Amino acid sequence: MTGAAAFLRRLLRNRLAAAGLILLVLVVLLAAAAPLLPLADPDATAPVRRLAPPFSEGAWLGTDTLGRDILSRLIWGTRLSLAVGISASLLAALLGSVVGLVAGYAGGRTDALLMRGIDTLMAFPYLLLALAIVAALGPGLLNALYAVVAVNIPFFARNVRGAAAGLRNREFVDAARLSGMGGLRILLSEVLPNVMPVIVITLSTTIGWMILETAGLSFLGLGSQPPQADLGSMLGEGRRALINAPHVTAVPGVMVFLIVMSMNLVGDGVRDAIDPRLRSGLPARPSAATRVARATASVPGAAVPAGAAPGEPASGALLAVSDLRTAFEGPSGPVDAVKGVSFHVMPGECLGIIGESGSGKSVTALSIARLVASPPGVVRGGTVRFNGADLLALPAGPLQRLRGGRIAYVFQDPLTTLHPLMRVGAQVTEAIRAHAPVPAAEAGRRTIELFAAVKLPDPASMAQAFPHELSGGQRQRVSIAMALANDPDLIIADEPTTALDVTVQAEILDLLDALRRSRRLAMIFISHDFGVIARICDRVAVMHRGEIVETGEARQILARPRHPYTRRLIAAVPVLGRAREILRASERAEELP
Amino acid sequence: MAAYALGRILALVPVLFGLSLIVFLIMALIPGDPALAILGPYATPENVARINRDLGLDRSLPVQYLSWLGNVLSGDLGRSYSLNRPVLDEVAERFSATLILAGTALLLASVLGLLAGIVSAVRQFGLADKLVTLAVLVGISLPSFWLGLLLILLFAVRWRLLPASGMYAIYGGGDLADLLRHLVLPAVTLAIVAAGVIARLTRSAMLEVLRQDFVRTARAKGLGEGRVILGHALRAAMVGVIPVIGIQAGFVLGGAVYIETVFQWPGIGRMLVDAIAKRDVLLVQGGVLVVATCYVLFNLAADLLQRLLDPRIAP
């Protein structure tokens, strides 16, 4: 049972869940011990001492409208409420899981029929169905229990059915079927253990509700009938003395609240402990700009000192990155993804950055306008000078104006990088209006001009389309139009053609190259494909494991690569009739350290 | 969109059919003789037989169901014996009061829940986030019927700020201001739980969306943080939040039963509780049928709204 032990450890590490569990255990113990405690008879009335306040002699929590001891009634009522609520939960879990298992495992018509029934039950507003059932069966605690069970069956049936349907065609179920196991045995021995977590999660998240609903029905007078009292009917009876003796309702009210809250706390903890993936929403959200924590801060806005970066031209560069270090915060301290990278881009020049995935090229590109998700990303050192100003020291306002203004990005997969629910025209129009006080109509006209410039067919109607209605190539043209929106000086294209078909790739490359030349744009083009880089870039920087290992003229490096890693990248470019050479190159590559 | 709407509406037909069948069966299978309940001390065998014939109870179940369904479709829900008036009239009157209460509560819950969820996500792990998380935990754990009593005690009895019960003042009320004053406490009580659920979901949906690529694109084009969060992230998160608001409508309609009892609101929930106590079967049947049908239609509206926001949903 190491699984159970690990589960319990994860649950208790969650402080809130542990607190909830302790509270719940205390309440359950108190209720369970009711017959052993020296309590007054919960039903003994004493008209002479009606509505005694709390801390009265012989009645710590006072007495109710009939002079009965509230402490005793509270503990006995808690016992009854817990018993009914927990039985209802277990029964709903059992029946709902059976329906869900059968529907999910059988599939086909059985599934359709059962789920149609469940959908119909869910078409009723939750409590209303319970009321209808109580109306039919008549008021009473047991009938209230049945009603609560009935309205909670659908939650279990739906969740379990989903999990069971996913298992139906898995290999181990097939194997069991082939070995001649009957349907029932497969359900119990193969499917049930695998859907158990779903059942437990559903149970732990609905049990609080069920306690609340049974108490509610009793409160309405439809559950437990006098003299028997659960917490709900105590509340209902106390209502009559609300103004003179609020403690009569407060005591059971607080108890219901404590029980339900502790169950909710434990329920959340159980869900997180069983399925850590459900916590995936929890990692810290990325902030507007990557955090910068440089060990030796540079003077913001200072001009580039002559010879700042060795081997780099000191003046005239549009962008000069020197000794850039970007890391990701991990559980065991920051891990460097970019380890001291230096390069520059002259106005109108195209610099290619090439490397395999994980080499740090995208992180380098995103670090320039501080778009690395942060947390976990953090820039730990270096400078990024654009027209002389250090972008890493720029306040939020100027940085925001620069993004999409002087420096624009084109990202890899336009299906995920364009907003899926906005018309593509509106997305470009928005980029224009973020940087210039242009009236909407004027921005719309410019958007259509941009769409024409990136050779989108029928630009005016294209602007009305949603991203999912366009082809991959068309979407990337939209992204390029968006990047061009404010006539930037530098476009950073991060694998802009990787997600596209080969023929479309070539078209997009030609478009980018033509636009760059006609508009005199500088460009950083990131790719893992030497063929693509060689086609449009003037210079190339080769990145490997967070460092630039070789840099120079594109043609020169292609002809005479010095670093073995560069040779391997060049060899990976498919050229007709070069298969043998590539094979040999990859054999050599394996000898690399 | 039109094709999508038509498809959704057609898909409702079997649901509404199933719904009517369940309502009918629950009431038809009630143990005990409705004739006895109606006649009370006048239950001679002749009278019982006559009532059974009048109510059509001497026929087979399928026949009874079809004739009942026919009556329902022509707007005849029968006559309430305890109130001695047509069920439809009573239900219509009571349900409009419930709609005012539940509608206000749902609106309040949506606004509060969305705001709290957004703030909580944007200030993740900050003080505001912790406060919202705590408030949500308390909100969804409080029994609304007790919270209602507490609010009455504080706002109506102690501070005398707001009326504790009813929909209008008995003397001199009746205008909108009077209605609003009476609406505050019950609507707030009813909204608390739904607001908590919506806030919780909005927070997680926002956190999920804020990590997506298109949010980075929005930043890369130079949008301000407010626009990134409200214009881009929230828009995408709403697609997940709207169905939950639809589901919450059901919980609010159900929770209204408690609140109407606590605040003496003359709505359909209280009518149902009274009708159950008096075993007025037709009244319960009619009330449940009308409310459930409205809930189904509301969820249709939520579906269509979601489709409007998210054009990717296939017809």
On whether both A266 and A350 belong to a single domain, the answer is no
pLDDT, tens digit (0-9, with 9 covering 90-100), for A520-556: 899 999 998 888 888 889 999 999 998 898 888 888 8
Residues A430, A463, single domain; the answer is yes
Indicate if the pLDDT at residue B93 is higher than 60. yes
**Best mutation site among A74, A143, A220, A475 for testing chain B: the one with the most B CBs within 10 Å?**
A220
In-domain check, residue A178: no
Give dist(CA A96, CA A119) in Å, integer.
13
Position A286 in a domain: no
User: Is residue B89's pLDDT more than 60?
Assistant: yes
Of B18, B251, B277, the CB nearest to A126: B251
Stretches in chain A below the pLDDT threshold 70: 1-2, 276-283, 296-314, 574-593
A394 lies in the same domain as A425: yes
Q: How far apart are CA B260 and CA B183, in angstroms?
A: 11
CATH number assigned to the domain comprising residue A504? 3.40.50.300
Long-range contacts, stretch B176-184, CB < 8 angstroms, 24+ apart: B179/B100, B183/B100, B183/B101, B183/B104
CB atoms within 10 A of CB B90: 22
Six-digit token pair at B296?
Answer: 């189904």
Q: Pull the structure tokens for residue A280.
A: 């995936």
CA distance B228 to A287: 11
Q: What is the pLDDT, as a whole number, of residue B256?
A: 93
Determine the Cα angle at B253 with ends B251 and B255, to 5°.
65
Same domain, A468 and A571: yes
Rounded to a whole number of angstroms, the distance from the CA of A403 to the nearest CA of chain B is 5
In a domain, A173, yes or no: no
Q: Which of A366, A325, A368 is nearest to A345 (CA)?
A: A368
DSSP-based three-state secondary structure for B79 = strand
Domain presence at residue A44: no
For chain B, what percentages of helix, strand and coil (3-state, to nearest 5) are there?
80, 0, 20
pLDDT at B59 over 70: yes
Residue A225 sits in the same domain as residue A320: no
- Two structure tokens written together for B200: 């919780």
Q: What is the pLDDT of residue A477?
A: 92
Annotate A267-276 with b (16+ C-beta within 10 A) or e (fewer).
bbbbbbbbee
Contacts of residue B119, Cβ cutoff 8 Å, sequence gap at least 6: B128, B129, B132
Which pLDDT score is estimated for B124? 86
Q: What is the pLDDT of residue A246?
A: 86
Q: Do A73 and A113 sit in the same domain of this protein? A: yes
My answer on whether A323 and A470 are in the same domain is: yes
Domain contains A377? yes
pTM of the model: 0.87
Residue A434 sits in the same domain as residue A571 = yes
What is the CB-side half-sphere exposure of residue A583 using CA atoms within 13 A? 4
Q: Are residues A249 and A384 in the same domain?
A: no
Residue A4 lies in a domain: no
- Which residues in chain A touch residue B203, judged by CB atoms under 8 angstroms apart? 281
Residue ranges making up the domain that contains A95:
17-34+62-166+199-274
Could you give the CA distance from residue B24 to residue B182 in angstroms, rounded to a whole number? Answer: 36
Q: Which residue has the tokens 């899981």?
A: A97
Is residue A57 a part of any domain in this protein? no
CATH assignment at residue A138 = 1.10.3720.10
B288: CB partners within 8 A, 6+ apart: A124, A128, A129, A131, A132, B23, B272
How many angstroms from the chain centroid is the CA of residue A554?
41
Residues A226, A330 within the same domain: no
A374 found inside a domain: yes
Is the domain of A215 the same as that of A335? no
DSSP 8-state code for residue A297: P
Tell me how far apart the alpha carbons of residues A568 and A555 are, in angstroms, rounded to a whole number: 16
Give dist(CA A480, CA A455) in Å, integer: 11
Across chain B, which distance is largest between two alpha carbons, in Å? 85
Of A242, A274, A306, which residue constitutes the final position of a domain? A274
User: What residues in B contact A235, CB-CB < 8 Å?
Assistant: 143, 145-146, 149
Chain A residues close to B157, C-beta within 8 Å:
242-243
Distance CA A495, CA A366 (A): 12
Specify the DSSP class assigned to residue A59.
Answer: B
User: Where a domain ends, among A274, A309, A336?
Assistant: A274
> What's the pLDDT score for residue A300?
47
Domain-ending residue, one of A241, A274, A307: A274
Q: Identify from A15, A27, A120 which residue to disrupt to test chain B contact, counting B C-beta atoms within 10 A and taking the largest count.
A: A120
Residue B280 pLDDT greater than 50, yes or no: yes
User: Are residues A232 and A314 located together in one domain of the fold?
Assistant: no
Which tokens in the block code for residue A493? 């294209």
Q: Please report the pLDDT score of residue A309 as a whole number.
A: 44
3-state helix, strand, coil in chain A (%, to 5): 55, 15, 30
Q: Does B19 touch chain A (CB under 8 A)?
A: yes
**A417: closest chain B residue by CA:** B214
| pLDDT number for residue A281 | 42
Question: How many structural domains is chain A composed of?
Answer: 2
